[in-house]
Amino acid sequence: MSAIGILATGSYVPKQIVTGADVAGPAGVTPEWIERKTQIVTRRYAAPHQATSDLAVEAAKQALEQAGLPAEALRYLIVSTSTPDSPQPPTSYLVQDALGAHRAACFDLNVVCSGFVYGLALARALVAQEPDAYALVIAADVYSRILDVTDRKTVVLLGDGAGAALVGAVPSGGFLDVELASHGSAHGLIRVKGGGSRMPTTHEIVDNGEHFFRMDGRGVRDFVMENVPGAVKALVERTGHRLADVDHFVPHQANGVLLSELVTLAGLDHAHTHRTLERYGNTGSASVALALDAAHRGGHLRDGDLVLLAAFGGGMSLGAALLRWTAAR
């Protein structure tokens, strides 16, 4: 197998900045409570005319520009989202059309907040079979459209954004291994009940708030602490490395307090943990991609660094990837 890695990254967040004071009142809390419980100061909301595909296109353009690659060169285009523009057509096809990536085979992926890492794993496998190919993985979510402003468990956390990574052959290093896991028995922890084939959208569904995003925060925390540390340890050791060898940790930006606990429990206090949640909040599947792009564009990732990505989300799902970073040449 040829070495497959990340060639370029991109990201986009909407212009509207939403502060703790903006969401605190309807949720029945204070801005101080939000910051203490989540460490989130601001988040971004999409403009009324913006849908998930619009955010995805902007992130994709950044990644392609960084790589100096035209959209026509893409062989695969994967969009991870749990907030598609509509049930059909796939959001990836709208992105393809907007970019002019007419050679790309496209599909959507919904693994909620783990979707970006799952998308990278799929892109790696596809490019390994076609080493001259380029695959663009985009993660984008617009959660502001499905939030109950009175629900303090969710509205204080979530925002909108998109991130992208261009996957292709690299001279050496790149992805060392990936770890994907699904825990369907915990599917009730994160959910949007209404809007599907079991519970189609009706006036009654909307009146009852079944179209909103809901989350059992304590249950999610317990899932993360019970499953993520062991998964990342097994992944790292499977590649012949130790946790102490990891230079950079790029986790899902779920909640600042949870992240601090996770870093310590996972034995990654020594690594540079990249965080964007203080200013962007939890952006769903886009969060790892946003944090990775910030780290890359900030000059923190150097050739040869060991980078660990870890995501977790609804399903419940878990995805982790370890790669030896290869600087652009």
Catalytic residue among 106, 113, 255, 296: 113
In a domain, 200, yes or no: yes
Give residue 40's pLDDT: 97
Distance CA 276, CA 158 (A): 12
Residue 1 confidence (pLDDT): 52
Question: How many Å apart are CA 23 and CA 20, to the nearest integer?
Answer: 5
Strand order of the β-sheet with 306-313 is 174-182, 317-324, 306-313, 248-251, 272-273
Which of 117, 143, 172 terminates a domain? The answer is 172
Q: Which of 248, 252, 274, 296 is catalytic?
A: 252
Three-state secondary-structure class, residue 288? helix
Q: How far apart are CA 53 and CA 217, in angstroms?
A: 28
* 329 part of a folded domain: no
Active site residue 113: yes
Q: Which of 139, 160, 164, 138 is nearest to 66 (CA)?
A: 164
Judge if 284 and 190 occupy the same domain.
yes
What is the model's pLDDT at position 209?
A: 87
- pLDDT at site 35: 96
pLDDT tens, residue by residue, 148-190: 999 999 999 999 999 999 999 999 999 999 999 999 999 999 9
Query: pLDDT tens digits for 44-62?
Result: 999 999 999 999 999 999 9
Half-sphere exposure of 168 (CA within 13 A, CB side): 21
CATH of the domain at 183: 3.40.47.10
My answer on whether 320 and 263 are in the same domain is yes
The answer to whether position 191 is within a domain reads yes
Peptide bond into 199 cis (omega under 30): no
Residues of the chain whose pLDDT is less than 50?
none
Are residue 104 and residue 184 in the same domain, yes or no?
no
Q: Give the pLDDT confidence score for residue 329 in this predicted structure.
A: 54
The pLDDT tens digits for 199-222 are: 998 999 998 888 999 999 999 999
Predicted confidence at residue 328, as pLDDT, reads 65
Number of domains comprising the chain: 2
Catalytic residue among 248, 255, 274, 282: 282
Q: Which of 152, 172, 192 is the last residue of a domain?
A: 172
* Domain that includes residue 286, residue range: 176-324
158 and 227 belong to one structural domain: no
User: What is the Cβ-side half-sphere exposure of residue 253, based on CA atoms within 13 angstroms?
Assistant: 30
In 10 A of CB 173, how many CB atoms? 19
208 catalytically annotated: no
